[in-house]
Amino acid sequence: MVTAGTGGIGLETAKGLAARGYAVTVVGRDPGRGARTVEQLAAVATAGRPGFLAADLASLGEVRALAARLAAEGPLALLVNNVGAMFARRTSTVDGIEASFAVNHLSPYLLTELLLDRLRAGGPSRVVNVTSGAVGLARRTFREVEPPGGYYGFHWYGRAKLANLAYTLDLAERLRGSGVSVFAADPGGAATEMTNGTLASPAIVSPPLRLLWPLVRRKFERSTAGPASSAARPSLAAATDPALDGRTGLLIGPQAGVVPPYRGSTDPQTVADVLRLSRRLAPLEAAAEAARGLDGISNAP
């Protein structure tokens, strides 16, 4: 399964998987776009039928519903958490949570946790979480959803990606020996909806970087000039490279090879704070409660 798989890097990842014989299901918000994607995937698929599931991954309720649907379909061999977004202005989700943190970290966190049983059943299986070089500019403070100080979209995006990377590498350790391998993949950069829509204004970076905006913008333009198909290579390597069989907890860099984890992503305090915050904001018990409620309904006379 590939989240945000109807456009950008996710679509190219899904196409690569379909061509390699995976029966890929993609997730996106727009059913029309989903139907067109299924046609594109069917055209390159070498085995298995592609599918589409609609979900807005900015909503924790929709993440829970998606996980329940997928769990009902049986074992899962591959989960690519590709969804990610940068917000030019501070935005809240339907759950009242700051959107960068919700979409880039909480949503993939919750989906992965809710599908762990299915991934164990599908083992040897892999989880691939898509990260970003933007973690390098992140503030490492995770006691609360929002860091103190002003909102700067690029930095808050990087901070949410850092939370997710810290979670990813810790999850790999917790699942070691379970048959589920966990990788992070950094696409480098590509011209996509996300980069076209958000990297245009100095408002997305902090005031010191704004002073250097012409330089910063040129760096953004250079690093996001390539095609999404090239940026999908790290995710595809993390998902399929046989050289990674039996390995886990690795970061696959923009050149599709293993690179050292980014600064701060293995810091024990960061990991502990991210886990505590994630469990508070997206409690797993809520899903169990909902499932018990559904049982009650389906068992009613």
Ligand X SMILES: NC(=O)c1ccc[n+]([C@@H]2O[C@H](COP(=O)([O-])OP(=O)(O)OC[C@H]3O[C@@H](n4cnc5c(N)ncnc54)[C@H](OP(=O)(O)O)[C@@H]3O)[C@@H](O)[C@H]2O)c1
- The answer to whether residues 34 and 78 touch, using CB atoms and an 8 Å cutoff, is no
| Footprint of ligand X on 71-100 (CB under 6 A) | 82-85
C-alpha distances out from residue 162 to 44, 104, 139, 141, 264, Å? 34, 9, 9, 10, 8
**Among 27-35, 69-77, 145-153, 256-264, the segment contacting ligand X (CB under 6 A):** 27-35
Contact positions with ligand X (CB under 6 A) in 127-146: 130, 132
Which string of x and - marks every residue 151-190 that binds ligand X (by CB under 6 A)?
------------------------------------x-xx
* CA pair distance 104, 116, nearest whole angstrom: 19
Q: Tell me the C-alpha distance between 158 and 132, whole Å.
A: 7
When the beta carbons of 29 and 139 are compared against ligand X, the nearer one is: 29
3-state secondary structure 152-195: CHHHHHHHHHHHHHHHHHHHHHHCCCCCEEEEEECCCCCCCHHH
What residues numbered 47-76 form the site for ligand X, per CB under 6 A?
Answer: 56-58
Residue from the set 20, 29, 90, 217 that interacts with ligand X by CB under 6 A: 29
Binding-site member from 1, 4, 163, 236 for ligand X (CB under 6 A): 4
125 binds ligand X per the rule CB under 6 A: no
The residue among 122 and 189 lying less far from ligand X, judged by its C-beta, is 189
Q: Would you call 267 exposed, middle or buried from its count of C-beta atoms within 10 A (0-12, 13-18, 19+)?
A: middle
Residues 209 to 248 in contact with ligand X, rule: CB under 6 A:
224, 228
In this structure, the dihedral spanned by the alpha carbons of residues 42, 232, 227 and 136, taken in order and rounded to 10 degrees, is 150
CA atoms within 13 A on the CB side of 158: 19
Catalytic residue among 109, 157, 167, 262: 157
Q: Which residue, 4 or 287, has its beta carbon nearer to ligand X?
A: 4
- Residues at the interface with ligand X (CB under 6 A): 4-10, 27-30, 33, 56-58, 82-85, 103, 130, 132, 187, 189-190, 192-195, 224, 228
Q: What positions carry a catalytic annotation?
A: 157
